[in-house]
Amino acid sequence: MSPRFLRLLWLTAGLGLVLGWWSEALPGWPAPPRGLPRADGRSGVPWLEGPFQPDGRLQWGDLPAHLETASSHVGGDAFTGRAASAWFRANRRTVYVGVAGYPGRPGCALRLEFRDAAGAITAVPYRGAVPAETWQVWEVRRPPEAVAVRVVGEDASAAHQGWVAFSHPFRAWPLAAAAAFAALRVLTTLALCLVLLWGPGLLATPATAGAGARACWFLGAGPLVLAASGVILWAAAPWLAAGTRGVLAAALLGALWLAVGARARRLGWRLPGEAGWRHAVAAAALAVAAVAAKASFSTGTAGELFRGTVSRNFALSDRIDSRFSFYAVQAAAHGWGPAAERTERFYYPWTYFSRGPLPGLVAIPLVLGTGGRPPAEHAEETWSPFDAGGFATYRLAQYALAAAVIPVVYLLLLPLAGAGWALAGAGLLALTPFGLHEILFTWPKWAATAWLAAAFTLVHARQPMVAGIAVGLGFLHHPLVLLWTPWLALWAAGRHGPGGRAQLAGVTKLTVASAALVLPWMLAGRLLPHLPETPFAGQDGFIRYFLLADAQHATLETWLRTRWMNLANTFVPLHLLLDPASAGHFRLSSAYEPSSWLTRLTFLWWNTLPFALGVGLWGITLAAFPRAWRTHRAAVVLFAAAPALLLIVYWGWEPLGLMRECGHPLLLALVVLTVLVAAESAPGPAAWLAHPAAPWFQLPGALVMFWLPVLANPSPPAVRLAHLDGLHLALNLTALGTLAWMLARARRDPTLSPTLCLRPSL
């Protein structure tokens, strides 16, 4: 990263703050949509002719709430009829109309009629996607000679979903301009998230810090400052108006932004650290950019949960976890306490204390300080690349938190294998399909795994007390950390020599330091009041997973069957689709309708280890495993075999595979072990992984995971701001291609080539 680029990134982040302030200070800009005036100049007369009526069932979607509407859903779908609006002046180049229902279905039609000065009429039928129950905006270019326009709706169908609705025609800013402005907001807010989340740790780390301490500085400096700001904003929320909260949040962000800029200026706008570290950070930034571009693409896979809304989760899944941390942002924005009834309703059947608080606290100042106004209900507004409620800002913040695992893998490998292999390992993780998918899916499991990796680095360096703090901070992102802490404790015992007293001291320090952060949060979840109907308050609900089978109380038969299915669906490449019991499982399909085989194929990248790693890297890992067993048996047992067995016993109640559940550290451990074997000159893995073509061979798996189910979606939802989809696709491909090119180029660099950086490891 050149000084010029870093300065530009910092200035772009500042522009993100300015645009956020602008949206807060000037909420009426750009000018809101306005209904077209009547062509006859009359007022106080109905705008509609016909029996259609306003439909209060419909979500507003993209339609401005003040516009009048008309619907043929009068008492149900069986109603039929025809309605037409009055004639309105067509004095703008583009006419906009809200559309809902099912125009295009047999018997249902909608059209605009343009009239010229001579009275000739030109009809323009609606041929867009079916908007269903949500208002969408129809943009129509006015014929040059037209002077008036009206809307005509026809409903001759009494069948289910046989109705149509339209709005008063209106004028507004062009949708292409709105899409461009949304893309600008995404770009500037992404820069702001990277600068504020990564900048403090990158620039303030002491020069003498070891790898583990560097990881903690990188992971903790920015996020913990933002989390503290989130606590301040949440605590002050009951006494501050919404606008004042936004101003305070912007001030806190601005102060941190200025501090980062001042520190960067003193360092000459250069990142401290060796070249491999700078490459690892750049790899993480490119991964975030690629994921952000993918998230700005309007279409997802068929059956995507929350499709067509701002909280769409980009996956075929019944998991609502992608928006869990946003509930804290909503509670803070409306002044509800963490244990308040309104807050708990969001988290039901869990509570706020069932998950770690840090991801939500980090997002609070970023959302409120960039003009976000989180809704009081679930974030299900019609999708746009950048929404007024702040979900896009929240999503970008979670991307930056998750992608931090990539540089941390570099720091984990640095003392074990040297800079070249450390960068190769970070790059391998960055281009795995699962790695990218789990950055895109906004739950904090990668962020928790990053702290777990930092804790291992500290344990290996015989710093168990600091490692325990890292474990606790990881837990405050996601409880999955606790499933791996016993193995860290055993490694800590082994690193403190053969003496029993020294081993006990290492384990005790790790345990006490982690418990100092873990136990208070667990006790808060248990002791604070909650609704009597909430079944899984605090952390208690997670213990029962040992006793479940497919979400039911297990018998011995069902317990064994689901654990076997979990094992097979995790480690056998195509078992998920070839096994009848797995392929026919109700969770291997959309929550909305039966899914095609291509759509169900997407589960492989989320559940099955060979596809999560990428088939090529999985093959190399298999080839390296016998040597890893001979030379690093303790590491294989403690960080691969034993955790996998525990996860299958624990998470095996979910029979479709464990990768998405808590398999993130397992994938990271396998990447690290494979790199360590290669670093010791194992002929096959070293030659494959050190070759400059290796990143390019990984790239197709990532592209297929991102785009095959999207581009093959036969019925994407109707959305308003899809104008820049081509640009977002190009940006995603460019970011991933640049990432592969950078990693391939580093393999040719004498200072970063893995084969020139061999070092004894564990």
Question: pLDDT, tens digit, for every residue of 598-650?
Answer: 888 888 988 999 999 999 999 999 999 999 999 999 999 999 999 999 999 99
Stretch 442-467: mean pLDDT: 96
* Reported confidence tier of residue 520, pLDDT bands at 50, 70, 90: very high
Give residue 240's pLDDT.
86
Q: Please name the amino acid found at residue 97.
A: V
Residue 267 resides in a domain = yes
Domain co-membership, 105 together with 233: no
Give residue 137's pLDDT.
87
- Among the listed ranges 416-420, 667-671, 757-761, which one has the minimum average pLDDT value? 757-761
Domain co-membership, 554 together with 630: yes
Give residue 718's pLDDT.
66
Q: What are phi and psi of 287, to 5 degrees?
A: -65, -45
Q: How far is CA 306 from CA 250, 266, 381, 382, in A?
A: 30, 46, 10, 10
| 214 neighbors 463 (Cβ within 8 angstroms) | no
Euclidean distance between CA atoms 293 and 737, whole angstroms: 13
Whether pLDDT at 29 is above 60:
no
* Reported confidence tier of residue 26, pLDDT bands at 50, 70, 90: low
Residue 270 resides in a domain = yes
Note the pLDDT tens digit of each residue in 302-347. 888 888 888 888 887 777 888 999 999 999 999 999 999 999 999 9
Residue 468 resides in a domain = no
Euclidean distance between CA atoms 329 and 379, whole angstroms: 11
Give residue 380's pLDDT.
84
* Reported confidence tier of residue 758, pLDDT bands at 50, 70, 90: very low
Stretch 505-531: mean pLDDT: 92
Domain co-membership, 365 together with 247: yes
Residue 80 resides in a domain = yes
| Residue carrying the six token digits 């404790």 | 489
Domain co-membership, 192 together with 162: no
Alpha carbons within 13 angstroms on the beta-carbon side of residue 462 total 8
Domain co-membership, 606 together with 642: yes
Q: How far is CA 548 from CA 110, 351, 552, 558, 650, in A?
A: 52, 21, 5, 9, 9
Residue 723 resides in a domain = no
Note the pLDDT tens digit of each residue in 671-727. 999 999 999 876 777 888 989 999 999 999 999 999 998 888 887 776 767 778 899
Domain co-membership, 150 together with 242: no
Stretch 569-576: mean pLDDT: 94
Domain co-membership, 225 together with 119: no
Domain co-membership, 336 together with 195: yes
- Among the listed ranges 120-124, 145-149, 311-315, 673-677, which one has the minimum average pLDDT value? 311-315
Pick from 29, 133, 168: nearest CA to 380: 133
Which range of residues forms the domain containing residue 64?
48-167
CATH classification of the domain holding 88 = 2.60.120.940
Domain co-membership, 95 together with 243: no
Residue 640 resides in a domain = yes
Which uninterrupted H or E stretch holds 744?
Answer: helix 725-748
Euclidean distance between CA atoms 26 and 14, whole angstroms: 18
- Among the listed ranges 183-187, 191-195, 375-379, 643-647, which one has the minimum average pLDDT value? 375-379
Whether pLDDT at 60 is above 80:
no
Domain co-membership, 248 together with 197: yes
Domain co-membership, 14 together with 72: no
* Higher per-residue confidence, 319 vs 357: 357
Kindly report the pTM of this predicted structure. 0.91
Give residue 24's pLDDT.
62
Q: Please name the amino acid found at residue 59.
A: Q
Structure tokens at 613: 């790693």
* Reported confidence tier of residue 175, pLDDT bands at 50, 70, 90: confident
Q: Which residues contact 761 (CB under 8 A, 6 or more apart)?
A: 416, 417, 632, 676, 679, 680
| 604 neighbors 597 (Cβ within 8 angstroms) | no
Residue 116 resides in a domain = yes
Q: How far is CA 412 from CA 204, 346, 452, 664, 680, in A?
A: 19, 37, 10, 15, 16
Across the chain, mean pLDDT equals 90
Bridge partners, 81 (sequence order): 155
Neighbours of 705 (CB within 10 A): 23
Whether pLDDT at 524 is above 70:
yes
* Reported confidence tier of residue 63, pLDDT bands at 50, 70, 90: confident
Note the pLDDT tens digit of each residue in 274-291. 999 999 999 999 999 999
Stretch 117-132: mean pLDDT: 90
**Coil, strand, or helix at residue 325?**
helix
| 322 neighbors 441 (Cβ within 8 angstroms) | yes
Residue 354 resides in a domain = yes
Structure tokens at 457: 């680095």
Euclidean distance between CA atoms 94 and 143, whole angstroms: 9
> Cis peptide leading into 349, omega within 30 of 0?
yes
Euclidean distance between CA atoms 711 and 294, whole angstroms: 12
Q: How many domains does the chain have?
A: 3
CA 24, 25, 27: angle at the middle one, nearest 5? 65
Whether pLDDT at 260 is above 60:
yes
Bridge partners, 88 (sequence order): 38, 149
Stretch 502-528: mean pLDDT: 91
| 563 neighbors 656 (Cβ within 8 angstroms) | no
Give residue 200's pLDDT.
97
Domain co-membership, 571 together with 686: yes
